[in-house]
Amino acid sequence: MTIRRDDAVRMDRDDPLARFRARFRLPDGVIYLDGNSLGPLLHTVRDRLDKVRDAEWGEALIRAWNAHHWFDLPKTVGDKIAALIGGGSGNVVAADTTSVNLFKMLSAALQLRPGRPVILSDNGNFPTDLYIAEGVAGAAGSDRRLQIVAPEEVAGAIADEVAVVMLTEIDYRSGRRHDMGEITARAHEAGALMLWDLSHSAGALPVDLLGADADFAVGCGYKYLNGGPGAPAFLFVHPRHQDKIRPPLSGWWGHEAPFAFDTDYRPADGIARQLCGTQPILSLAALDTALDLWSELDITDLREKSIRLSELFIAAVDGFAGEFGLTLASPRDPDARGSQVSWRHADGYAVMQALIGRGVIGDFRAPDIIRFGFAPLYIRYVDAWDAAAALNEVLATKAHLNPEYRRRAAVT
């Protein structure tokens, strides 16, 4: 390879974020390049889970809702996430799943733009985003519909009939990045609203929702935010809309006075009306603690390291990619890319299985993409180098042709 391993070792020595790696539990012999799908366990999160289980649930029982502030968690966790995505305090809650929050935000957008039938999205979007949009359009009835165009065609497709543009900033397959400020401005010019999915952005790069003037946003808690499997998701509503929305999921947690137990629904003021029912407190507590680490660092440093890691990996793989039928699926320009690098290979599934067999964990996205996520809090430059070397070795020895790497499991 064109880059020497010693250079990577030197970059790690000078890395201002290096100290964060020890905060995570990372198994020996594993290079974990899948933190964009499921972030690893922080030691502080393990301790918090022990405490919530034993001292709070175990001992305080139902008193913990007040004594340990369980009831406030969606908002306190929401505020921590807001600080990371430029959402502003009081404009974000952590609750439910990304899919459910997409339902809430799309329903809100259609309410606010009654004469406009179209939800506009792109064909690089994550399937659940498109499926939920189809469901919301169907439930809204009449001529409401989802329109899907190519990512480069979105800006040109924002016509008068578009109620809301729904995009994921970072494409989950290729890592391609949409220009948030530009597309939001274009949507507003046409009288449409803008909904951003930040699942692959939050905790991966700087985001400024208020600066971009976004109307709505959603995102995941279990990817770069390290909240744990099935961690609650988040949603953002710009303050200009919060009190105008009548939530279709009008559950008691979004009621003005949940413990009045009234028979009629009156939505709470502000973002709280976007809550629905009782939340998974163990998971919310885990996410709450996982988020504390972000106040210790500057996200622009994180982004800088993410780019350097990705550039190192691309340069190393470029040295042998052509020989083995690998082509870069991510943009070459780091500004146009998130915190992942993806390659296409005709036998991608088996290649990734062979890598996982060597302790290099990335993932495969159909039909032919192998994906490597670079989470700068715990990935070292030397990990990027070693992952590239392992990929070279798999391809050079044709290890992926081994039948054991070709059997498909349910989760890829």
The residues of the shown chain that bind ligand PLP, judged by CB under 6 A, are 97-99, 126, 128-129, 168, 172, 197, 199-200, 220, 233
Catalytic-residue membership of 131: no
The candidate with the shortest Cα–Cα distance to 151, out of 191, 179, 109, 117, is 179
Name the minimum Å distance from CB 354 to ligand PLP.
25
Residues 263 and 158: their CA atoms lie apart, in Å, by 42
Residue 76 vs 97, nearer CB to ligand PLP: 97
Catalytic residue among 75, 337, 371, 380: 371
Catalytic-residue membership of 222: yes
Name the minimum Å distance from CB 339 to ligand PLP.
13
Catalytic residue among 48, 75, 177, 223: 223
Catalytic-residue membership of 371: yes
The candidate with the shortest Cα–Cα distance to 232, out of 20, 75, 36, 58, is 75
Residue 119 vs 312, nearer CB to ligand PLP: 119
Residues 328 and 322: their CA atoms lie apart, in Å, by 10
Residue 91 vs 98, nearer CB to ligand PLP: 98
Catalytic residue among 216, 222, 313, 372: 222
Residue 70 vs 126, nearer CB to ligand PLP: 126
Catalytic-residue membership of 292: no
Name the minimum Å distance from CB 358 to ligand PLP.
26
Name the minimum Å distance from CB 228 to ligand PLP.
12
DSSP codes of every residue in 339-387: SEEEEE-TTHHHHHHHHHHTTEE-EEETTTEEEEE--TTT--HHHHHHH
**In 222-330, where do the E strands start and end?**
234-237, 327-328
Residues 214 and 196: their CA atoms lie apart, in Å, by 7
Residue 133 vs 317, nearer CB to ligand PLP: 133
Task: Reply yes or no: is the peptide bond before residue 367 cis, omega within 30 of 0.
Answer: yes
Name the minimum Å distance from CB 398 to ligand PLP.
32
Sheet with 327-328: list strands edge to edge: 327-328, 340-344, 369-373, 363-365
Token look-up 């430029």 returns 86
Catalytic-residue membership of 126: yes
CB proximity list for 213: less than 8 A, separation 6 or greater:
184, 185, 188, 194, 238
Give the 3-state secondary structure of residue 166: strand
Catalytic residue among 79, 197, 383, 386: 197
Residues 234 and 198: their CA atoms lie apart, in Å, by 9
Residue 168 vs 289, nearer CB to ligand PLP: 168
CA dihedral 381, 382, 385, 388 (to 10 degrees): -100
The conformation of residue 235, written as its DSSP 8-state character, comes to E
Name the minimum Å distance from CB 200 to ligand PLP.
5
> Structure tokens of 255?
């009621």
Residues in a beta bridge with 371: 342, 363
Q: Quick check: 214 and 237 in contact, CB under 8 A?
A: no
Residues 220 and 202: their CA atoms lie apart, in Å, by 8
Name the minimum Å distance from CB 384 to ligand PLP.
22
Residues in a beta bridge with 168: 197
Residue 122 vs 215, nearer CB to ligand PLP: 122
**In 259-368, where do the E strands start and end?**
327-328, 340-344, 360-361, 363-365
Catalytic residue among 32, 126, 216, 224: 126
Name the minimum Å distance from CB 197 to ligand PLP.
4
Residue 166 vs 187, nearer CB to ligand PLP: 166
Catalytic residues: 126, 197, 222-223, 371
